[in-house]
Structure 1
Amino acid sequence: MEDNIFKTPYQTYHRKPYAAIDPTQPALSTKSKSAVVTGAGSGIGASIAVSLAKSGISYIALIGRREHALQKTKSAIEAASTDTNVYIYAVDITDLTAIDEALQAFAGECASGPFDILVANAGSLGPLSSIRDTNPVEWWNGFEINIKGNFNLVHAFLPRASPAAAIVHLSSAVVHGPYFPNESSYCASKAGAVKLFEYVHHEHPDMFVLCLQPGLVAETGMSPGFEMIANGSQMDMASLPWDDAALPGDFVVWAVSPEARFLNGRFVWANWDVDELKGDKEAILADPHKLKLGLIGGPS
């Protein structure tokens, strides 16, 4: 099969980390800053947390439902950086009181002041079945996590955030891609989440808000969906063009740096080349609809 199963607007398509997004570069340093990462116990969230540590983040809150998984990420961070203060909070983002208390506790630990970075990575695939055959309660659970959970998270983060804080929401290609069989809960709730973060952007224009498609990363909560895609395409899982989990991790470090500020309010893919994105900066800033969700051919 082709190495890339999606058509993209940029020539270079990365599957592994590369020099321009190396988190150890001085230009991408997050030293003296703080970050909150949800879904940090494994996969993409854990990778993002480790990349932030490599970039020098001073304070990081790891949020997830499984404490033992968060402890593993904490150990990986401590192996990558001796300068990062790591705090774990085993809470469910669908519980507003719990997430608010967790961020209040983290705020008390951050000598750097208000929060600088939020990585909203936690999500739910939901049931993999048709609308007719699905369990309605299980189907709605995707919205509980992908929309309500992210609302709770942002609602708790904003009062404690720096006026120029950076927020990155880990989204998915499904929100603008073709029909994905049996993934109505996931697709609909992830599309709604993009609109939620669009509102965060407009309500807080001095903050940086970005929606990011992290790539095709194995061993995440989305793996059952990837398996269904593979089966539907008559492929096996091994034949899918997998991306290195470190790619979205390093990309997020670049995204929260001053270099990426021109992408505020946009939707991008971690696979796209950042130098090509920077080369497209004037065109992106000149077009209020470029790299955003919208109606093709519709009114502006």
Structure 2
Amino acid sequence: MPPALAYIEYSNTFHHQSYPAISPTRPELSATGKTVFISGGGRGLGTGIVDAFAQAGAKNIVIMGRNATALQSVATATETAWPSTKITTVAGDVSCEADVARAFDEVKKVAPAGIDVVVANAGYLATVAPIPAATPAAGDSSTEQTKLDPVLTDWWRAFEVNVKGVFLLARHFLALAVPNAVFLNVSAGACHLNPVLPGFSGYAGSKIATARVVETLQAENPAFRFYSVQPGAVMTDMLTNSGLLALPDLPLDDLELPGHFMVWLASPEAEFLKGKFLWANWDVEELKEKKEKILAGNNLVTGLVGWA
């Protein structure tokens, strides 16, 4: 771990691969009989999350994404590896209310009794670059001109997907959630690492906004469990496009680590962490040992650094 990132090592052990305590094969983490919804399930992190819940025995997994071909490929591979799991695919955009409603209509078809787990994994990385000064053309306040501004469109797209998308998924989750259902928001370390990462205002800004939304959802709905998760630095297209691979000694994490960690979070063992912001790299046995400390105050939540 580079010295600049050492302070995020909340546990003495900082994992880069899965380990027995979070293995989906542990009976204590079983998802047998459960219905799971995963957005962004056709690529990147989503493929590992789908596999993890299927390995844990989920009865139904509904995956949503914008590429129908990619979704079907994941569905075929998953059902071949884990025949007891039924995969339903829905092509759509999480920032579109009609698409999200259509996706949850599919959830109701396979699970009339309700949803057990939602993983809000779909995300958008705005172009990594400093916020530019407005040009005369971009300063035109007309709606048509605003639509033509590629910088604004790209930057705001991060908020449409990362914030509005989670908002829409949460509303439909609340309408179908079974008692003690779990909502997992895939977040990012960029939203709270200090010093801030130049060029990441759209991505980091939208991710920290969503983290606060998730904390508020927890306060408003104590009967359910909400979490935000930094999934680690996994080799995906998004990580490549971020430019972070150029950092010296950037530690990379296995694809299965975040999926397995989320299976653990959805289990009864992690109930004490509801409402918290967590890193998939943290050791879960150490987190359990810190239970009283975590519950004693405003730990692992967004807040103001340096308040005295």
Common fold, TM-score beyond 0.5? yes
1:50 and 1:76 in contact (8 A); partners too: no
Picking from 145, 159, 163, the partner of 2:179 is 163
Aligned counterparts of 2:237 and 2:49: Cα–Cα separation in 1: 13
Rate the CA distance shift 1:87–1:138 in 2: closer, same or farther, 3 A: same
Q: Shift of residue 4 of structure 1?
A: 8.7
Aligned counterparts of 1:20 and 1:54: Cα–Cα separation in 2: 15
**Match of 2:106?**
105
State the AA in 2 paired with 1:147: V
Aligned counterparts of 1:2 and 1:190: Cα–Cα separation in 2: 23
Confirm whether residue 290 of structure 1 aligns to residue 299 of structure 2. Answer: yes
Alignment of 1:270-281 (within 5 A): 270-281=280-291
Alignment of 1:168-247 (within 5 A): 168-178=184-194, 179-225=196-242, 227=243, 229-231=244-246, 233=247, 235=248, 239-247=249-257
Aligned counterparts of 1:136 and 1:6: Cα–Cα separation in 2: 34
- Computing the radius of gyration from Cα coordinates, the structure with the larger value is 2
SS at match of 1:135: helix
1:53 and 1:81 in contact (8 A); partners too: yes
1:45-94 CA-to-partner distances (Å, cap 9, x unmatched) read 11011000000000110010001111121123113311111100011011
State the AA in 2 paired with 1:131: I
SS at match of 2:170: helix
1:3-58 CA-to-partner distances (Å, cap 9, x unmatched) read 99442121000000101111011111010110000110111111011000000000
Alignment of 1:1-300 (within 5 A): 2=2, 5-7=5-7, 8-110=9-111, 113-132=113-132, 135-178=151-194, 179-225=196-242, 227=243, 229-231=244-246, 233=247, 235=248, 239-287=249-297, 289-298=298-307
2:127 and 2:154 in contact (8 A); partners too: yes
Q: Shift of residue 282 of structure 1?
A: 1.2
Aligned counterparts of 1:189 and 1:32: Cα–Cα separation in 2: 34
1:168 and 1:211 in contact (8 A); partners too: yes
Aligned counterparts of 1:3 and 1:55: Cα–Cα separation in 2: 36
Q: Shift of residue 137 of structure 1?
A: 1.6
Aligned counterparts of 1:274 and 1:201: Cα–Cα separation in 2: 21
1:35 and 1:59 in contact (8 A); partners too: yes
Q: Percent identity?
A: 36
SS at match of 1:200: helix
SS at match of 1:272: coil
Moved over 6 A (4+): none
State the AA in 1 paired with 2:41: A
Rate the CA distance shift 1:90–1:294 in 2: closer, same or farther, 3 A: same
1:147 and 1:192 in contact (8 A); partners too: yes
Gaps of 5+ in 2: 134-149
SS at match of 1:165: strand
Aligned counterparts of 2:271 and 2:277: Cα–Cα separation in 1: 13
Number of matched residues? 290
1:3 and 1:241 in contact (8 A); partners too: no
Aligned counterparts of 1:214 and 1:26: Cα–Cα separation in 2: 23
Aligned counterparts of 1:38 and 1:153: Cα–Cα separation in 2: 9
- For normalisation by structure 2, the TM-score amounts to 0.90
Q: Shift of residue 2 of structure 1?
A: 4.1
* RMSD (CA atoms): 1.7
State the AA in 1 paired with 2:88: Y
1:164-195 CA-to-partner distances (Å, cap 9, x unmatched) read 11011010111110211111100101111111
SS at match of 1:147: helix
State the AA in 2 paired with 1:277: L
2:239 and 2:245 in contact (8 A); partners too: no
2:36 and 2:60 in contact (8 A); partners too: yes
1:30 and 1:57 in contact (8 A); partners too: yes
State the AA in 1 paired with 2:155: W
Aligned counterparts of 2:5 and 2:57: Cα–Cα separation in 1: 35
**Greater Cα offset, 52-61 or 173-182:** 173-182
Aligned counterparts of 1:47 and 1:155: Cα–Cα separation in 2: 25
Q: Shift of residue 223 of structure 1?
A: 2.3
1:215-241 CA-to-partner distances (Å, cap 9, x unmatched) read 00012323211x2x344x4x4xxx531
SS at match of 2:101: helix
